[in-house]
Amino acid sequence: MVSQTLAVLRSRSWGSSPWVIIISLLILVSSVSLFQIQAQQPVFRIGILDSSLGPISRGARLAVQEINNQGGVIGADETAFRLELVVQPTENIDAAIDNLAQASVIAVLGPAEDSLVLNNLVALQSLGVPVLTPSTDDTVLAKDNSGLLFRLRAQEATRGLALADYLVNNLAVTDLVTVQLDVQSTASIIGFTNALSRLGVSPSRTYLLDETNSLERIVDNLATLNPPVVVSYGPPATASILYSELRNAGWDGRFAYPQAELAEFRADLPFERLTGVIGSTTWSYTTPNRASEAFVLSFVSTFGEIPGPIEAAAYDGIQLIAEAIGESGSLVDNLNALREIRGVQGLLRASTLSAGELSNNVAVIELGAFGAPDLVARYAGPIRITDDEEEDDLIDIATEIARVTPTAAATATPEGVWLRITRAVQNVRSGPGLNYDIIGQLQEGDTAQVIGANLDFSWVVISFRGSQGWLSQGILDVFGDRNTVPIIAAPPTPTAPPPSPTPSPQPVADIIIVGATPNRLPIGVPFNVVVTVRNQGLLSAGEFAIAATFEPGSVYSAVNLPGLAAGSQTNVALSGTLTGSTGPRSVAIVADLNNQINEGSQGEANNDDFVFTYIADRPTLTPGGLATIALAPGSTINLDSSNNDLLWTGSELIAQNGAQLYLLSGFSSLDEVHYDAISTTTNASPIGVTFLQNNALIGLVTDNANMKRGVLRVDQAITGGTLTITFRVYN
């Protein structure tokens, strides 16, 4: 390294000044010294069973970064160690575990999926190191006989206990109905009903969605029975349909669904139906403790997204490993002996819990008007946590904002409830509604103290330019105890002014986005989104720009337009290359990005109204993206130009040559399925014609030669006759 650098120095045309050479050599020596110090620092490697940008990876990366920036982990002998992550995707779980064994990791985080842990328990135990998993399945630890498996989140039974306690003791529920939407949720719903029984309450009815009891029939029965509370377990998309259909049928009771915070549950529900849905989770980003709020701000600052329960658990896992390294003895024993560690999820008391349990923290949430979770109760196992019990753990949001942002901290720390703007521009209005006048705007990242709110907290009030300013709560972040905010009555609704002989306002331009295509963007190759821009105003517009930041990868793209005549529209292309995981995404495409055009108050307010929703997905092998084929009995199909992958017998669809098949759940159409949603370890072949209903979705992995992921939709299956499918295979 030194000789190469000296050669570079000699080759530069810097003249003969000795000072230049001396200074350059000093810089070189300093750099080499720092490199040697870092290289000589001993390292502990921690394995991660997750994709490189998955929830476990991101939570762990953030914790390791913070620990290493503070000098690393101090061992029991006072030696400073640097932490390194060895990330292994779980598509080929056997190879991933082998790679971790060769990397000499001291511990492993993951996998998160219950099935991956249960199906690969022996292989995970063979690593001979602690394995910390976010899996919440009640049977995971019961099946471990090695003492090496640890659970980072409260198990399902503990979540059911918290939900039952809140319903019975807080909402005084004595009459409820349970609806089970799949067989996989059996253990969870049994845990919930057992918890209810211990509280003296039993469901008046129980329903199971199966071949003989359709969703339509369940909805009809519940609409007739009209129970005050319905509690549902199962896939989030199915639970969303159940809830929506119940409301359509006129049912007006309370709905509880443990996974209410998931986007898959909330995606297709209108805002007005989200309010009041109750859920339970192992952690919510609204948890009011010091570690949690600092973690949220640091995560958002690093990744640009709000973390979820698995990210929080992974972050806690790294911190627990670091704590255990500092004690004498084995890492396994030290993890079991940890007590009173303040984690993101709450107090982590491994020494007082069952063997292998690291957390028993549960948060009961209630969805607000725009779907954000409002934390209404916290539990440590069966014990309800009050604010007084963790008063010393509360923190003002302003303090943490000052800590994680590059600007200097304020000289005084304000108290109370604070908000932060999360979109490019948010309007401040004179009252709680879009019918009130816009009195100004705040920019992304701006903060302000909340001095009041309306009754349901859907609008919050701040001091703004000498008067009260109202902001919609659903499109910003609020931190602090909302219960301390006073209720402020809305000002009178603005009325239209009486007719006046005064001249009409001068015409202005009004730039809007009216459409964008396509709704599926490839990952890893350049994309083009064609955006239709319209000037719906009465005056031609001069030069302006449109822009958007596409995920994953935070790809910013902008286009300048020289102008646009009044009443006309044009198409422009926003382009880039996405990097990261696949899945549904939404982005606001902003018109008149820099407010170059005078659009009047209404025109300025609609510049970021257009939200473009799309699926970020891998490129496909299938020409045109999708293909349709009809298979006669006995026919096979080759999906990836190698060996035959599927056989249709007339009564069964069978995977061939090592291919895999399984029924997908949680998706309403083929367009919603994406690459990362397709398992490479689950095989349910053969699939009988009973399950090959029209529009059934089936995940697949092609034969052993290529092992390409794919998805197919059943268009028609006739017993003894033709099977018609539409499919997509990924590159």
**Mean pLDDT (whole number) for 488-513:** 74
| DSSP per residue, 115-163 | HHHHHTHHHHHTT-S-EEE----TTTGGG--SS-EEESS--HHHHHHHH
pLDDT at 88 over 60: yes
pLDDT at 402 over 60: no
Q: Higher-confidence residue: 506 or 695?
A: 695
Q: Higher-confidence residue: 559 or 392?
A: 559
Helix (H, G, I), strand (E, B) or coil at 235: coil
pLDDT at 14 over 50: no
CA torsion angle 55 56 62 66 (round to 10): 160
Scanning the structure block, which residue is given the tokens 């991660």? 48
- Distances, alpha carbon 219 to alpha carbons 48, 174, 189, 206, 232, in Å: 43, 21, 19, 13, 12
Q: Is residue 35 located within the same domain as residue 50?
A: no
Q: Look up the domain containing 434 and give its range.
A: 416-484
Using alpha carbons, select from 292, 319, 317 the residue that is nearest to residue 307. 292
Using alpha carbons, select from 369, 493, 485, 487 the residue that is nearest to residue 431. 493
Local structure of residue 523 (DSSP, 8 states): B
pLDDT at 515 over 90: yes
Q: Is residue 199 located within the same domain as residue 262?
A: yes
> What residues contact 387, with CB distance under 8 A and at least 6 apart?
288, 394, 481
Predicted confidence at residue 496, as pLDDT, reads 54
Examine residue 66 and state whether it is found in any structural domain, yes or no: yes
Residue 321: give its domain's CATH number.
Answer: 3.40.50.2300
> What residues contact 42, with CB distance under 8 A and at least 6 apart?
79, 80, 81, 82
List the Cα angle 278/281/284 in 5-degree steps. 95
Examine residue 410 and state whether it is found in any structural domain, yes or no: no
| Amino acid at position 506, single letter | Q
358 touches 152 (CB < 8 A): yes
Q: Is residue 351 located within the same domain as residue 290?
A: yes
User: Last residue of some domain: 228, 253, 280?
Assistant: 280
Q: Which residues of 165-178 are buried (b: 16+ CB within 10 A; e: fewer)?
A: bbbbeeeebeebbb
Helix (H, G, I), strand (E, B) or coil at 585: strand
Using alpha carbons, select from 444, 399, 442 the residue that is nearest to residue 418. 399
Q: Return the structure tokens found at 14.
A: 């810097």
Examine residue 719 and state whether it is found in any structural domain, yes or no: yes
pLDDT band with cut points at 50, 70 and 90 for residue 26: very low
Residue 567: give its domain's CATH number.
Answer: 2.60.40.10
Predicted confidence at residue 351, as pLDDT, reads 87
> What residues contact 701, with CB distance under 8 A and at least 6 apart?
659, 660, 678, 680, 707, 708, 709, 710
Predicted confidence at residue 505, as pLDDT, reads 61
pLDDT at 358 over 90: yes
**Mean pLDDT (whole number) for 350-374:** 90
pLDDT band with cut points at 50, 70 and 90 for residue 17: very low
Predicted confidence at residue 119, as pLDDT, reads 92
User: Last residue of some domain: 326, 359, 392?
Assistant: 359
Domain count for the chain = 6
CA distance 361 to 281: 9
Examine residue 460 and state whether it is found in any structural domain, yes or no: yes
Examine residue 492 and state whether it is found in any structural domain, yes or no: no
Examine residue 402 and state whether it is found in any structural domain, yes or no: no
Scanning the structure block, which residue is given the tokens 């049977």? 139
**Mean pLDDT (whole number) for 4-12:** 36
- Work out whether strand 417-421 and strand 447-450 pair parallel, antiparallel, or are unpaired: antiparallel
The dihedral through the CA atoms of 366, 372, 373, 375 has a sign that is negative
Task: Say whether pTM exceeds 0.75.
Answer: no
Provide the percentage of residues in the chain whose pLDDT is more than 90: 57
**pLDDT tens-digit readout, 265-320:** 988 788 788 899 999 999 999 888 888 999 999 999 898 999 999 999 999 999 99
Average pLDDT, the chain: 85
List the Cα angle 367/369/373 in 5-degree steps. 25
Q: Which of 136-145, 404-413, 443-452, 655-664 shows the lowest per-residue confidence on average (mean pLDDT)? A: 404-413
CA distance 622 to 640: 8
Continuous H helices in 379-500 = 397-404
**pLDDT tens-digit readout, 629-672:** 999 999 999 998 889 999 999 999 999 999 999 999 878 899 99
User: Last residue of some domain: 617, 641, 664?
Assistant: 617
Local structure of residue 645 (DSSP, 8 states): -
Q: Return the structure tokens found at 270.
A: 């209108």
pLDDT at 685 over 60: yes
pLDDT at 32 over 50: no
Q: Is residue 437 located within the same domain as residue 292?
A: no
Using alpha carbons, select from 187, 221, 185 the residue that is nearest to residue 204. 221
**pLDDT tens-digit readout, 56-73:** 999 999 999 999 999 899
Continuous H helices in 418-576 = none
CA distance 269 to 252: 15
Q: Which residues of 210-236 are buried (b: 16+ CB within 10 A; e: fewer)?
A: eeeeeeeebbeebeeeebebbbbbbbb
Q: Is residue 643 located within the same domain as residue 720?
A: yes
CA distance 188 to 526: 44
Q: Is residue 102 located within the same domain as residue 192?
A: no
Q: Is residue 150 located within the same domain as residue 179?
A: no
Q: Is residue 274 located within the same domain as residue 295?
A: no
Predicted confidence at residue 334, as pLDDT, reads 92
pLDDT at 422 over 90: no
Q: Which of 117-121, 411-415, 710-714 shows the lowest per-residue confidence on average (mean pLDDT)? A: 411-415
Q: Is residue 247 located within the same domain as residue 345?
A: no
Helix (H, G, I), strand (E, B) or coil at 272: helix
Q: Is residue 207 located within the same domain as residue 269?
A: yes
Predicted confidence at residue 238, as pLDDT, reads 93
CA distance 540 to 551: 33
Examine residue 409 and state whether it is found in any structural domain, yes or no: no
Helix, strand, coil percentages, rounded to 5, for the chain: 30, 30, 40
Helix (H, G, I), strand (E, B) or coil at 182: coil
pLDDT at 4 over 70: no
619 touches 525 (CB < 8 A): yes
Q: Return the structure tokens found at 376.
A: 């209404």
Quick one: which H or E segment has residue 348?
Answer: strand 347-348
**pLDDT tens-digit readout, 554-571:** 898 999 999 999 999 999
Predicted confidence at residue 503, as pLDDT, reads 52
Q: Is residue 19 located within the same domain as residue 29?
A: yes
Predicted confidence at residue 703, as pLDDT, reads 93
Examine residue 500 and state whether it is found in any structural domain, yes or no: no
Quick one: which H or E segment has residue 603?
Answer: helix 600-605
Q: Is residue 146 located within the same domain as residue 53?
A: yes
**Mean pLDDT (whole number) for 455-464:** 88
**Mean pLDDT (whole number) for 113-130:** 93
